[in-house]
């Protein structure tokens, strides 16, 4: 499998973990499994998959990979924001992408693809970007 294929696989896995996260609100979880544990694991997995995709893109020599790298970094930052990690991934993201248009486009696509909700964007201070569309 070529690098593009591996990037697509990792990006799809990250997206799938976010879709699984949406199912966490369902009441069918066994009593011995905490909803918080499940959510934390799914967010950690999504972040890892997006990071792996970004690392693969970085190692690629293809020019078209730059846009994909940005998308993976933005998705990773959003999942890290939801995990409430010590540093502020969204602040770092704004530092990396001086133009908020890329962040706005990815956030909009994530809502349209049902990967996250508008409430999630609000938690990451991205709702203003989404509303401006």
pLDDT single digits (tens) 68-77: 888 898 888 8
Q: Cα 69 from chain centroid?
A: 12
- In contact, 46 and 17? CB cutoff 8 Å: yes
Residues above pLDDT 70, as percent of the chain: 77
Candidates 44, 50, 43, 51; CA nearest to 19 is 43
Handedness of CA 4, 52, 37, 108 (dihedral sign): negative
Instruction: Report how far residue 27's alpha carbon sits from residue 83's, in angstroms, rounded to the nearest whole number.
Output: 22
Average pLDDT over residues 105-121: 86
Whether 79 and 107 have beta carbons less than 8 Å apart is answered as no
Q: What is the pLDDT of residue 129?
A: 60
User: pLDDT: is 11 or 31 the higher one?
Assistant: 11
Distance CA 55, CA 49 (A): 10
Share above pLDDT 90 across residues of the chain, in percent, rounded to a whole number: 17
Residue predicted with more confidence, 47 or 132:
47
The whole-number pLDDT of residue 53 equals: 92
Query: pLDDT per residue over 54-109, tens digit each?
Result: 998 888 766 666 778 888 988 888 888 888 765 666 777 777 776 678 888 888 89
Asked if pLDDT for residue 5 goes beyond 80, the answer is: yes
Q: What is the pTM (predicted TM-score) of this model?
A: 0.78
């Amino acid at each position: 499998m070529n690098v593009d294929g591996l990037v697509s696989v990792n990006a799809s896995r990250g997206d799938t973990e976010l879709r699984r996260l949406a199912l966490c609100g369902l009441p069918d979880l066994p009593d011995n499994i905490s909803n918080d544990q499940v959510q934390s694991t799914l967010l950690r997995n999504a972040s890892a998959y997006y990071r792996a995709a970004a690392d693969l893109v970085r190692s690629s020599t293809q020019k078209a990979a730059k846009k994909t790298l940005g998308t993976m970094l933005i998705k990773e930052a959003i999942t890290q924001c939801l995990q409430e990690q010590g540093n502020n991934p969204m602040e770092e993201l704004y530092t990396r992408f001086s133009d908020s248009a890329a962040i706005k486009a990815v956030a909009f696509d994530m809502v349209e693809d049902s990967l996250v909700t508008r409430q999630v964007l609000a938690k990451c201070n991205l709702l203003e970007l989404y509303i401006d569309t």
